[in-house]
Structure formats: C-alpha cells, structure tokens
Structure 1
Amino acid sequence: MPAGFGVSTEKGNGLTGKARLTRPRRWVGQEWAEVRRSVRSALVEAGPERDTLVQSLKAAGAAIAAWAVSGWWFQAPMALLAPWTAIAMVGSTVYQSVRTGIQQFAIIALGTVWASAAMAFTRDQTMAAMLFTLPFMMLLGNYRRFGSQGIYGATTALFVITGGVSSTSTVGHRLLETLIGAVIGLLVNAFVLPPVHLRSVRDRLVRLARETADVLGAMAEGLREENGLEKWESWHHSAGGLTVSLQNVSEARRWAMEGSRWNPGGRLRRTGPKPPPFSEDMRWGRVCTRVLAITRTLEVINDDSELAPPSPDFFRLLSDVLGLASSICVVEAELLVGSGNEATQHEHRDAAVREAWSALSSLTDTFHRQEPWAAAVGGELLLEARQLLMELVPSA
C-alpha cells in the first residue's frame, strides 16, 4: 500500500466499537450541516429554500383563515375539514392548486356520502360502517384520476364514521366545510405571493453547480492528505446528494412549465429571465454521474485490500484534475447567475479548462508508468476523470 493513502481494514461485522459510533455521528453531523445551510439560504437569498418557506407559511395562513371562517364564524360542527383542505390546496403552482382542489373535493365528497350512507345502513354501528366503507374507499383512492389526493377519501370517511352522526344536514355541513377550505386555499395560493417558478430552474442549477464544486474540491483536498481515501464515505454521501439536487432541477423545470397556467403571478410578480435550456439539465446530470462513479471507485480501493491502488503520484495528479474541475464548476455557477463580467468569467473558465486538460495529460502519462496490478482501478479513475472534463466543457 503506497504511503499516504491508507485503506481501512474494517469490514462488515468486523467494525470496531469506535467505528460503529463514528458513522452515525458523522451522518448526524452531515444532516445538521445541511439543515443549517438550508435555513441560512432561506434567510439571506432568494432561492428554493425561501420558496419553500413562503409556501409553508402560506399553507399555515390558509389553514388559520379557513378555521376562522368555518369554526369561529360559522360555528361548523366539523370545522376541522376546512383547514385540513386549505393546507392541501396550497400547492407548488396555481394550476396544481386548482387540479388538486377538484380532485380533493371529489374524493372527500365521495368519502363523506359513502360513509354517511354506511352509517345510516348500519344504524350508526361504527365497526360495521368501517367494514362497509374503508376497503372500498382505499381501492377507490388508488384510482389514477384522483392522483395523490385519493387517500383523503378514506380519511374523510373515518372522520364521518367516528363522528357518529349521519344526518343529511351533517353531510351537507361537511361538504360545505371542505368547499370553504378549498376556496380559501386556492385564493391564498393564487393571490398571496403566487408561485412563479421561472427563477427556480436557474437557482437550482446554480445550487447544483456549486454543490458539485464543493464535492470535487473536498475530494481534491482529501486526496492530498495522509489516509485521505478513508474519507470516501463522506464524499460518496455528498455525491449522492447531487442526485437529489438534480431531481430538484427536474422538478423545478416541471413547475416552470406548469406555473404559468392560470397564474396571475405573471402579472403580479416579477418573473425574471427565462430559465436555462433543458440541455443544461442533461449536461449536469452526466456530470453528477461521473462524480458519483469516481467516489464509487475510491470506495472499492478503500474496501478491497486485494486491489492494488495506484501510486501516490497518480493520486496527487488526480487531485489536481479534480481541483481544476471544481474551479470550472464555480465559474459555471457564476455564468448561470449572470452577475459580473461575462467575458472575464469565460476567460477564467477557458484557463481552468486548459489547465485541467494539461493535468489530465500528466495523469495519463503517470498511469502508463503504473505497475500492471494497479492498472485496473487507475484506469477506471482516469477514464471517469476524462469523461468528467468532457462533460464540464460546453459543446457550444
């Protein structure tokens, strides 16, 4: 084993007590760091975290308003249904709120009517009414036309059955309370800071580029340290987080397409520039795949003592390549933001690209001088590093 790149021999159930405690502690630390970063981002800059904060507060406000109308003003007997419906109505887009409202009101109405009929048929026998109601409503809730709202049919039926009253007036009250919640939730979502997601695609792409830069930078720094490969688990966890961020980009893209439908926000709020082209999503998806592949290969080197790792010189040059790739990601994020001198940023990116290819050339020469038994993992790392640089350099 080359000096400076120690490999852990702890495997499977052979982990020491210290290692068993270290891994959960490390996971908790990583999760806590992500929570703090999200909170800080929501407070200091516009972006996905702030959008989530705004939508959460709107949902809470809609629920409070619905309760005030149904429970405090109308003194409705089942006022809970109004705020419950209002929360579900504050969706990611106005169109989604309308669609969700129609689906939800339909399934809740079915659940209310069916459960009330079951109570009347069984003469208010709770257990018998559940036997007649819940199996049917659970099956009906899986009907694709109800989308994710199908579960509300069964839960509404439970409210009706456990309420113990099946009169016509009570059924009418429940339907009215549901309608009140749906209307209030829709109005709040449409006219109180209506969600306009054109910016979200760009924001999430910028976040993805910066997170990719952080992962590559951490790997580059760690590979220069003694026993640096032992940090593979942290790198792999962070690289896996890039996949989640990529999914967020896809979700934001869908919101951007859907968000303009039936949305007064296009006139009430500033929408900002158009989102980057879809090809950027695809490119960064391939970049994330390459980064994750590199961390997996490092994991194999760390875990499999029978595989001979490349020399320290190889890892040093690989560190240089990954560090320069991180610099390219930083400049790409700045270009996506659109702030600063674009010509200067292009110059910085081109310079980093030239240096990265030069470092990769040196890495290739070092690989050719490796011992044959170290060629397997070294060749895989070299290939993935090369593919990473090819994906980072825009084709146009």
Structure 2
Amino acid sequence: MRPEWLSRVTTVVRQDTRSVGRAARAAWRGPGRERDLFVQSLKAAAAALLAWTVSSVWLNDPMALMASWVALVLVQATVYSSLRQAGQQVAAICAGTLVASAAQWLTGNTVGALALSVPVLMLLANWPRFGDQGVFAATTALFTLATGTAEAVEVGHRVGQAALGAVIGVAVNALVLPPIHLRDVRENLAALAREAGDLLHTVAADLRTSEWDAQTAARWSSACASLERRLETLRAARAWSRESLRLTTGPLRVVRRPPGPVPPEADDERWSRVTGHIRVLTRTLSVAADEGRSPVPPDGPELHAYAELLDLIADACHAESERLLGTGDTVAPDGEALRDLHTRLEGRLLDHAGYQATRTTVLGTLLLQVENLWSETVPS
C-alpha cells in the first residue's frame, strides 16, 4: 500500500501532466492564450541567444552573461511593458554597480562592501520608480562584488552590457510578432455573457421546483461571485489590450495584423450592469427564501412565468456570447414573447397589490430587475 503523501504527489503530477497536455493541444489547434505563451517563450529564448551571440561571439566579451540575462527577462507581454521595464532594469543595474563599487572603495574588502551596500539597495528596491525591477539593484551588487569587478572600467562595461541586452530584448519583442492582446477581451466578454445565461437558466430551473431554500440561495450566491470574478478578469484583459496597443501603431501593425477588432468598452460596462442586476435579483430571491424574514415569495404560477422570462433572457445572453465568438448558433429570443410574459406578471402584481403586500413587494422587485436585464441583453 502506497503512503498517503506518495498518492498525493502522484495525483498532483498526473493533474499537472494532463494540464500541460491540454495546453499543448490548444496551442497546436489554433490561436489562443496557449499559443501566445508558446510564442512569447520562444521569443525570450531567441532574444537571450541573440544577445549572447552579439556579445560573446561578435564582440568577444567575457561578460556576455549580463546582456543575455537582461534580454531574456525583457521579452514581456507587451511592447510597452518591455520598454518600461528596460528603463527600470537598466537604472537598477546602474544603481547596483555604482553603490557596490563605492562600497568596495570605502571598505576595501568584499564583506564590508556587502554589509554596506546590500541593505541600502534592498531599501532602494522598494522605490516605486523601479517597479518590480528594483531587486536587480541588490543582485547586481552581489554579482559585482562576488566576481571582483568593482573597478570603474568593469562598472561601465557591465552597464553597457545591460543596455545592449535591453535593446535586443525590446527589439525582438517589438519586431518579431509583437504581442497584441485583443483576443482575451473578446473571449472573456463572451464567457461573461455565457456564464450569465447559465446562471439565469439555473435560477429559472430552481424556481420551477417551488422548493428552493437557503441552500439553493447559497448556490446562487456562489455562482454570482464566480460571475463577478469573470468580470474582474474581463477588466484586466481590457487593460492588457489597451497596453498592448501602445507603441505598436504604424509599421508594427504591418508586422503583425491584430486578430480582429476588439469589442467596444461600452460592452464591458453593459455586462457589468447585467452582473449587478443578476446579483440584486438573486439577493431578493434569497431574502424571500429566508423563513425568518418578512418578504414572501410569489405563488407557483407566478414563479413559473418568471422562470420562463428568465429563460428567454438567458437565451439572449447565450446568443450574445456566440455572436462574440463568431458562431451564432443560438437565435435571440423574440421580444414579443418577453412582452407577453411581462404583461401577465404585471397583471398578477396588480392582483396582489390590494391584499398581499409582502408578495407584492417581492414580485415588484423581481419584475424591476428582470426589466433591467431585458433592456441590457435583448436587442430592441
């Protein structure tokens, strides 16, 4: 019998292997995030190899490691971030070499220079101007003092190698298939619409059972939280999209044509509102399901009609998702059917108004939220 820790390790290795296999198949099948990562990794390796060749083979420089190292880490997800981090890293390397050299000159020995320079440089690494490249100041000082190259000539040489690596890394990233992240926005927007439709279908199915309770409401709440996480992912993808278009206009757009136009930012705001309306809708239903609260859920026939209304709006969400992905297999619902259901529920609301105030409150709130969803998802 295998030990428990070995079983856990085996399970983790098996899961990771399957994940790698799925990523490899996705990269092979066509454009997507996996292929972008594959291309970016090869570009970083090519930049490091090119920097090593230029520095070591052509210039016969014994410190080619510095140029190759800087070129490798500067092939970033966007051209703008590569250029920004190039400036930050070269500045950090300059600071590290200069402070290390000054400490070596003041103390006259390696241990004293390390004790004097590294604490200062680690504090300097937190300076916001350095971004996440500040730690290179301290590592450069360690490397400089460990190799005994703290003389003025070696310092200038090291900075020159860092600048050479930065130029090669940024050039490779900008000129060889420059990264333009427009696909992620479309995919996340389509996923948000699809998941919103899935959640509305789930709520509609639960309402038809007429047995929904606090546990059902908790499941809706969890699905809403997942929907909001998808919205945050969409916002992050939009930010990457905007950044990837910086410094890639003109000739660089000719080098790599973007993968189709990005959906307008107004779509992000619209689906953000849809997410908010779904959150309020599920919260209202959760309150009505709580036996300790005064609101009372509508009767069975009303719930069935409301569930049908949610199903139609969910179909509209799915149609929008498929339109964004270019498939378009789902037909958007007919607005006439939505209006008929809405009119029927309004009639029931008027019937309740005179003698069931709590049911009227809940049904009115639900109708308001479904009208908001309707206006945002169903084409006029």
- SS of the equivalent of 1:166 reads coil
CA distance in structure 2 between the partners assigned to 1:96 and 1:262 by the alignment: 18
1:230–1:276 CA distance, 2 compared to 1 (3 A) = closer
Secondary structure of the equivalent of 1:91? coil
**Are the equivalent residues in 2 in contact too, given 1:328–1:353 (CA < 8 A)?**
no
Alignment partner of 1:188 is 2:176: no
Whole-Å separation in 1 of the counterparts to 2:203 and 2:27 = 27
Between the aligned partners of 1:41 and 1:319, the Cα distance in structure 2 is 37
Within 2, Cα distance between the matches of 1:72 and 1:381? 72
Give deviations 1:338-359, integer Å, cap 9, x for gaps: 4569xxx7xx32x444333433
Q: Shift of the alpha carbon at 1:120?
A: 2.8
Matched, 1:100 2:119: no
The whole-number CA distance in structure 2 between the counterparts of 1:382 and 1:179 is 63
2:116 to 121, 125, 128: 128
For the residue of structure 2 that corresponds to 1:311, the secondary structure is coil
CA distance in 2, matches of 1:356, 1:303: 29
2 CA distance for matches of 1:163 and 1:374? 79
Q: Is the 8 A contact 2:180 2:241 kept in 1?
A: no
Aligned residue for 1:311? 298
Distance across 2 between alignment mates of 1:215 and 1:316: 16
Number of paired residues? 352
| C-alpha distance 131-240 of structure 1, shift in aligned 2 (>3 A) | same
Structure 1 position 236, deviation (Å): 2.2
User: 2:224, 2:372 → 1: CA distance?
Assistant: 18
Structure 1 match to 2:233: 245
Matched, 1:284 2:271: yes
Normalised to the residue count of structure 1, the TM-score between the two structures is: 0.71
**TM alignment of 1:238-387, pairs within 5 A:** 238-255=226-243, 257-258=245-246, 260-261=248-249, 264=252, 266-301=253-288, 305-311=292-298, 313=300, 314-338=302-326, 348-349=331-332, 351-368=333-350, 369=352, 371-387=356-372
For the pair 1:178 / 2:162, whether they are aligned, the reply is yes
**Alignment equivalent of 2:220, drawn from 232, 244, 252:** 232
Match of 2:128 in 1: 142
What is the alpha-carbon distance in structure 2 between the residues aligned to residue 386 and residue 199 of structure 1? 31
Gaps of 5+ in 2: 1-15
Cα gap change, 1:339/1:131 in structure 2, threshold over 3 Å: closer, same or farther? closer
1:78–1:177 CA contact under 8 A, matched in 2: yes
TM, length-normalised to structure 2:
0.73
Per the TM alignment, residue 161 of structure 1 is displaced from its structure 2 partner at its CA by: 5.4
Equivalent pair of 1:78/1:174 in contact (CA under 8 Å): no
CA distance in 2, matches of 1:258, 1:362: 52
Structure 2 residue 204 is the aligned partner of structure 1 residue 220: yes
Work out whether residues 307 and 374 of structure 1, in 8 Å CA contact, stay in contact via their aligned partners in 2. Answer: no
Distance 2:312 2:69 in 1: 51
Q: Which has the bigger relative contact order, CA under 8 A and spacing at least 6?
A: 1
Gaps of 5+ in 1: 1-31
Aligned-pair CA distance for 1:328? 0.8
CA shift for structure 1 position 92? 2.9
Q: Secondary structure at the match of 1:130?
A: helix
Query: CA-to-partner distance for each residue in 1:170-217, whole Å, 9 max, x for gaps?
Result: 434532442343233223322332223455544443333333333333
Asked whether the equivalents of residues 122 and 129 of structure 1 are also in contact (C-alpha less than 8 Å), the reply is: no
The root-mean-square deviation of aligned C-alpha atoms, in Å, is 4.0
2:100 to 88, 96, 115: 115
Q: Go from structure 1 to structure 2 and tell me whether the alpha carbon gap of 1:147 and 1:309 turns closer, same or farther (over 3 Å shift).
A: farther
Stretch deviating more after TM superposition (223-232 or 186-195): 223-232
State the shift of 1:302 in Å: 5.7
Judging changes above 3 Å, is the alpha-carbon distance between structure 1 residues 217 and 261 closer, same or farther for their aligned structure 2 residues? Answer: same
Q: Equivalent residue of 1:46, what SS?
A: coil
1:296-315 CA-partner distances (Å, limit 9, x unpaired): 44455566743544135344
Query: Counterpart amino acid of 2:273?
Result: R
Following TM superposition, by how much is the alpha carbon of 1:45 offset from its aligned partner in structure 2, in angstroms?
A: 4.7
> What one-letter code is carried by the residue in structure 2 that aligns with 1:275?
V
1:119 CA displacement? 3.3
Q: Is the 8 A contact 1:212 1:242 kept in 2?
A: no
- What does the per-residue CA deviation read over 1:128-185, in whole Å, with 9 as the maximum and x for residues that have no partner? 22244333x235x313xx4554454455445545666523354345324423432332
What's the CA shift for 1:70? Answer: 6.5
**Letter of the 1:92 counterpart:** A
